[in-house]
Amino acid sequence: MPDKFQNFINGKWVDAKSGRTFENRNPAHWDEVIGVFPKSAKEDVDEAVKAARSAYEKWRLVPAPARGDIMRKIGDLLVKNKEELAHEMTREMGKVLEETRGDVQEGIDTAYYAATEGRRLFGHTVPSELPNKFAMAIRVPVGVAAIITPWNFPMAIPTWGIFPAVLSGNTVVFKPASDTPKTATTLIRIMMEAGIPEGVVNLVHGGGGEVGNAIVVHPDVDLILFTGSTDVGKQISRQASATLKRVSLELGGKNAQIVMDDADLDLALDGVLWGAFGTTGQRCTATSRLILHDKIYDAFMAMLVDRTKKLRLGDGLLPTTDVGPCINEAQRNVVQSYIEIGKKEWARLVYGGNIAVQGDLAKGWFHEPTIFDNVKPNMRIAQEEIFGPVLSVIRMASLEEAINIINGTIYGLSSSIYTRDVNKAFVAIRDIKAGITYINVPTIGAEAHLPFGGVKQTGNGHREGGWAVYDFFTEWKAVYVDYSGKLQRAQIDNY
């Protein structure tokens, strides 16, 4: 019998009120059931929001440094359980162990950052325009925060939302992706062990259409931090506007790596292999376009295909595996559909292109790493997020052309340029329209203490990570203290 898991509402583990459940399976061995989880609905969301609202009135009064102490304990527990967690996550969502270790580490970094933020949460004191009057602006919590997350970073992304939300004094309703409910459950257990009080963090499992939607339209949810696809993000934005919720959207990308003719080609090659095929291409920051300078195009393509051929597909728990499976059958079918689209657009399939079915691979959702070249910037495979191990290679003859190509999609998350010319690097930093620009680094590899997010249809202007996310989870309150003992009228009595 597979293990059975529950929601966590008001400090108690509970089934969905309807009693319905869903199964979660290992994408590398789809006959292996990871567990059975509650298929929740609106009535479960209502309970979770009620619990979060009632806990908020106490939690907001706990001093931020004390909230930070709990964050430090969470970080310590994540360190203690890192290896076990990484194994569990690889089994649940497929990426290779060293990547799931990195995913946990990002949670650890975020916990320790939040711990120290408890002693900062800086406000401003400014002079008043009137005598004997004091003026300051302080950060206050907002209320009940919903955290809705995707499956590709099942630890890091929930922690980016939940830890700063809670540190800031908000309470949380957390809806994880239904492909990674087990990691979410373990995260909640760790938070409870560290001393998070009842009702402060609530977990509701289930599908986006049902649970996610019930959260988004709930009148008593104040904030939504959503990380996921652009289509769902747009829908959430529309629906949340009915109750004027504050919404942070971190959405899709069509990230590119530029390689100039003066680049260190070996370094650029390591970068693009890691950026395009790490996490099986299923990162919001994955390199899905490679923009190659004409002068090094043929040489670089030969190196790229040669190294891609050596990548080994398999179960991420095996030390021999470089590339794991796609998350599920539907996603693998999306990847396959883009292979057909690329062929119809007359891009040249230079490597891969198939579902992988050799030996044990037949029991998982594996797809070969795939490279198209002769790709034109306006083709669908160069414009649309595929979210799989597919790289589209585009030729260019100048930095200006490369930057036009990189900017020519609806997205603007991550970007990268390989060059030895510092002048070109700074032009790229200035002119690329993206939330992140890497110089001689692939498009992946964000650090937890810097702002993370994108421009254009990658988001709505908020940032996760570092100090920036605290702007989302707090409101500014302006405070004036007049100690003159008389009525002083701003803009009037002093002019």
Question: For 433, how many CA atoms within 13 A lie in the half-sphere containing its CB?
Answer: 16
Q: In degrees, to the nearest 5, what angle opens at C-alpha 241 toward C-alphas 239 and 245? A: 105
* Helix 297-309 with 265-277: angle, nearest 10 deg: 50
Residue with smaller CB distance to ligand NAD, 284 or 405: 284
Q: Which of 301, 356, 413, 441 touches ligand NAD (CB under 6 A)? A: 413
Residue 333 contacts ligand NAD per CB under 6 A: no
Residue 239, φ and ψ in degrees, nearest 5: -70, -40
17 CB neighbour count, 10 Å cutoff: 15
Is residue 19 left, alpha or beta, with left meaning phi > 0 and alpha meaning psi from -120 to 50?
A: left
Shortest Cβ 139–ligand NAD spacing (Å) = 23
Shortest Cβ 152–ligand NAD spacing (Å) = 5
Shortest Cβ 476–ligand NAD spacing (Å) = 25
Give one DSSP letter per residue of 89-130, joined into a string.
HHHHH---HHHHHHHHHHHHHHHHHHHHHTT----EEEE-SS
Instruction: Give the position of tokens 């160069």.
Output: 382
Q: Which of 25, 257, 385, 403 touches ligand NAD (CB under 6 A)? A: 385
Report d(CA 232, CA 149) in Å as an integer. 12
Q: Which of 19, 209, 319, 485 touches ligand NAD (CB under 6 A)? A: 209
Q: Which position among 99, 284, 326, 464 bears the catalytic label?
A: 284
The residues facing 25 across adjacent strands are: 33
Asked if 198 and 158 count as a contact pair (C-beta separation under 8 A), the reply is no
Report d(CA 62, CA 55) in Å as an integer. 11
Q: Which of 78, 165, 177, 405 touches ligand NAD (CB under 6 A)? A: 177
Q: Which of 113, 365, 387, 472 touches ligand NAD (CB under 6 A)? A: 387
Shortest Cβ 301–ligand NAD spacing (Å) = 26
Report d(CA 28, CA 11) in Å as an integer. 34
Query: At 145, is the secondary structure helix, strand, or coil?
Result: strand
Asked if 349 and 381 count as a contact pair (C-beta separation under 8 A), the reply is no
Asked if 157 and 228 count as a contact pair (C-beta separation under 8 A), the reply is no
Residue with smaller CB distance to ligand NAD, 196 or 436: 436
Q: Which of 152, 202, 257, 321 touches ligand NAD (CB under 6 A)? A: 152
Binding mask 433-472 for ligand NAD (x = CB under 6 A): -------------------------x--------------
Q: Which of 216, 272, 273, 402 touches ligand NAD (CB under 6 A)? A: 216
Report d(CA 318, CA 87) in Å as an integer. 11
Residue 110 contacts ligand NAD per CB under 6 A: no
Report d(CA 307, CA 138) in Å as an integer. 54
Shortest Cβ 286–ligand NAD spacing (Å) = 8
Compute how many residues bind ligand NAD; rule: CB under 6 A: 30
Q: Which of 118, 252, 271, 325 touches ligand NAD (CB under 6 A)? A: 252
Q: Which of 21, 227, 248, 308 touches ligand NAD (CB under 6 A)? A: 227
Give CA separation, 330 vs 100, 277, 334, 335, 387, in Å: 22, 19, 6, 9, 12
Query: At 160, is the secondary structure helix, strand, or coil?
Result: helix
Q: Which position among 250, 368, 385, 464 bears the catalytic label?
A: 250
Residue with smaller CB distance to ligand NAD, 235 or 407: 235
Shortest Cβ 251–ligand NAD spacing (Å) = 5
**Known catalytic residue: 284?**
yes
Q: Which of 39, 91, 175, 463 touches ligand NAD (CB under 6 A)? A: 175
Residue with smaller CB distance to ligand NAD, 56 or 387: 387
The span of 229-237, 288-296, 312-320, 372-380 binding ligand NAD (CB under 6 A) equals: 229-237
Is residue 444 left, alpha or beta, with left meaning phi > 0 and alpha meaning psi from -120 to 50?
A: beta
**Known catalytic residue: 326?**
no
Quick one: CA dihedral 148, 152, 154, 157, positive or negative? negative
Q: Which of 148, 268, 292, 448 touches ligand NAD (CB under 6 A)? A: 148
Asked if 405 and 394 count as a contact pair (C-beta separation under 8 A), the reply is yes
Binding mask 232-251 for ligand NAD (x = CB under 6 A): x--xx-------------xx
Residue 253 contacts ligand NAD per CB under 6 A: yes
Report d(CA 25, CA 91) in Å as an integer. 9
Residue 338 contacts ligand NAD per CB under 6 A: no
Shortest Cβ 436–ligand NAD spacing (Å) = 10
Footprint on residues 271-290 left by ligand NAD (CB under 6 A):
284
Shortest Cβ 175–ligand NAD spacing (Å) = 6
What residues contact residue 447 under an 8 Å CB cut-off, 6+ apart? 109
Shortest Cβ 226–ligand NAD spacing (Å) = 6
Residue 149 contacts ligand NAD per CB under 6 A: yes
Positions touching ligand NAD (CB under 6 A) are 148-152, 157, 175, 177-178, 207-209, 212-213, 216, 227-229, 232, 235-236, 250-253, 284, 385, 387, 413, 458
The catalytic residue positions are 250, 284
